[in-house]
Amino acid sequence: MGDGLFEAANKKLFEAGKLLGLDADLINTLSKPKNILTAELEVNGNSFPAFRIQHNDARGPFKGGIRFHPHVTEDEVKALAAWMTWKCSIAGLPYGGGKGGVSIDTKKLSEKELEQVSREYIRAFHKHLGPDKDIPAPDVATNPQVMAWMLDEYEKIEQRHAPGTFTGKPVELGGIAVRDSATGYGGFVVAKLLAERKNLKPSSITVAVQGFGNVGYHAARFMHKAGFRIVAVSDAKGAIHSNEGLQPEKVMQAKTTGGSVTAYPDAKHITNEDLLELGVDLLVPAALENQITEKNAHNINARFILELANGPVSPGGEKQLLADGKPVIPDVLANSGGVIASYLEWVQNNYGYYWEDEEARQKLESVIARAFNTVMEDSETDLRTAAYKIGVKRVANAALLRGNT
């Protein structure tokens, strides 16, 4: 994600604010992060820029993941924090939006160095975190183990147990088992609800999944189990296609042993560009941002696009898709399963009462289904604008009630 992403992220806010008739000063307030926190993390003589952006907390504590990636910038983290504000609001969660990042290549780190970076991040920002302040979670190149190190460091500094400060933790430290697959599961739930609304049988729906990491894999796995036909998947090293359908679990086995989905023997090798342009019913971008832009949107042949990555369709790309009659189910709705599961984990930590896995999954499905149906009720606009109108209105109302204008 490059510079200018935060400006792009605010475009939908300004559009929704205008449609809602909000005061210009209020919209301007909502467009700016409340706190921009920066630090330099020192590890083995090297310095790495680190960020924690707290965008808005009118509806509750800041909430959002921490990513470790060499291309992390302040602009990117600001955009991601803003998206979290709207995502949490659209889902009806009592959270605001935040995001964190460290500009670092984890592939060049030993496990000990990764632990050092994780702990240094908390030493830099611990005063600003807490179960009623700001609640981080895993994101790109971070995982439950990183959250475990961060939680441990936070609790050592604070000298108290505070498991609700972080979500996406290992189950042994108060995590929730469904968290690992939650974003993919939420995407599946949205796909299932879309099929029901369009009177389509899952067995008649062909699906191409771009990005076969955690999110794409679990989305494909749940869809396949429900009868959807997964005909193509991809990762950073290539893509595969089979009209007869792929078995996601076997593809993942091949990827694990062979290093890529292309190690799966019973499929045709295609390019990532080919996958995006397949004539499928449902295209699921679950990899990186800006995969569909004004440059290639004309070539997209899918009937529906389900965004499971953050920002995989650029504003210009979406404009063209909509003109071509190809609806986009936006990321702020479609990939909210992860933060919904994080909410359930946070509730359990705060109450000290833990649900069985299936009950937690049912609660997740109920929350995302309610959000989906609310967004779909707005037939006057595209789905992203409809979602933003809901999210922005809720945050604006909370800000007005507090007098934060």
Which positions ≥6 away from 179 have C-beta within 8 Å?
A: 167, 168, 338, 341, 342, 345
Q: 3-state secondary structure string, 139-173?
A: CCCCCHHHHHHHHHHHHHHHCCCCHHHCCCCCHHH
Q: How far apart are CA 296 and CA 67, in angstroms?
A: 28
**Which helix (H) or strand (E) is 187 found in, with range?**
helix 182-197
**Residues annotated as catalytic (active site), given as ranges:** 99
| Tokens, residue 311 | 């920002």
Encoded amino acid at 181, one letter: S
- DSSP states of 78-98: HHHHHHHHHHHHHTT-S--EE
Q: Report DSSP state, residue 279.
A: -
Backbone angles phi, psi at 230, to 5 degrees: -85, 110
Residue 372 has, within 13 A of its CA and on its CB side, a CA count of 26
Beta-bridge partners for 100: 52, 66
How far from the centroid of its chain's Cα atoms is residue 93's Cα?
Answer: 15
DSSP per residue, 331-394: HHHHTTHHHHHHHHHHHHHHHT----HHHHHHHHHHHHHHHHHHHHT--SS-HHHHHHHHHHHH
